[in-house]
Structure 1
Amino acid sequence: MPRSQRSPLLLAGLLATAGVAHFANPRQFDALVPSALPGKPRTWTYASGAVELALAAGVALPRTRRTAALATAAFFVGVFPANVKMAVDWRDRPAPQKAAALGRLPLQLPLVLWARNVANNGKGRA
């Protein structure tokens, strides 16, 4: 299978894995929810996990791939504040944890670009 055909499936797999993780271990995600958001962090954790699962399904299916991939790019932008919160909250942790939190920040850009690329490669396909 050519790389261009694997890319959407890999993105769908990443989204599905992250979505399942939100339900399997919600406590770690609750801590990332910015306090400015209304409601309980667990609600946001489950909601974002459900969105990731829905996006995964949409990206995996050729018929919905373009729209879902564009929504995925927007989702990656939308969750960036949680990554910033993690980096701030983890600034006093041991170096490996701090590095992981800081490393997530620049990773958002390639994720957004990947999703946009999947959307653009899905043009005109049914």
Structure 2
Amino acid sequence: MDPGAADQTPALRLAAVLLTGGTLHFAVPRFFDGIIPAQLPGPARTYTRVSGIAALGIGAGLSVSRTRRTSAALACGFFVAVLPAKVQLAVDWWPKGRVAATIGIAQLFWQIPLITESIRAHRRAPAPHR
């Protein structure tokens, strides 16, 4: 294996997470609609679609060396932007029993390694060519 390839592991892991998650936004949109905070204006499905498209685009960008650095920065912003939905999920699932509460809290705290991994991917990505 190319010694430089290991440096791109965080980006490729994130790409897999984002491409899977983005696909799920369209495969099971009701789940994602349900975690959109009600305080946001407009239909929940719009947020589900937009975040699904964003996840797919960022995941694809992380998969390509040339766009990896920018996509890693976008991934970090994306994971921060979806925090309100993760908080909503944790709040909604808290009263549904121990298993649901644990899943809801885990989803919220899962954002921390995703954010740190996107920072790592940004740092390890090749610098843009001029």
Q: Place the TM-score, normalised by the shorter chain, in its bin.
A: over 0.9
Which residue is equivalent to 2:71? 68
> Which runs of 5 or more residues in structure 2 are unaligned?
none
Which residue is equivalent to 2:9? 6
One-letter identity of the residue aligned with 2:42: G
RMSD of aligned Cα (Å)? 1.3
In 2, distance between residues paired with 1:21 and 1:105? 18
Which residue is equivalent to 2:41? 38
Q: What is the TM-score when the length of structure 2 is the normalising length?
A: 0.91
One-letter identity of the residue aligned with 1:86: L
Cα drift, residue 36 of structure 1:
1.6
One-letter identity of the residue aligned with 1:37: L
Identity value in percent: 38
One-letter identity of the residue aligned with 2:21: A
1:56 aligns with 2:78: no
| SS state at 2:30 partner | helix
Decide which of 38, 47, 51 is 2:50's aligned counterpart.
47
Matched residues, number = 126
Residues 19, 52 of structure 1: 8 Å contact kept: yes
In 2, distance between residues paired with 1:3 and 1:97? 36
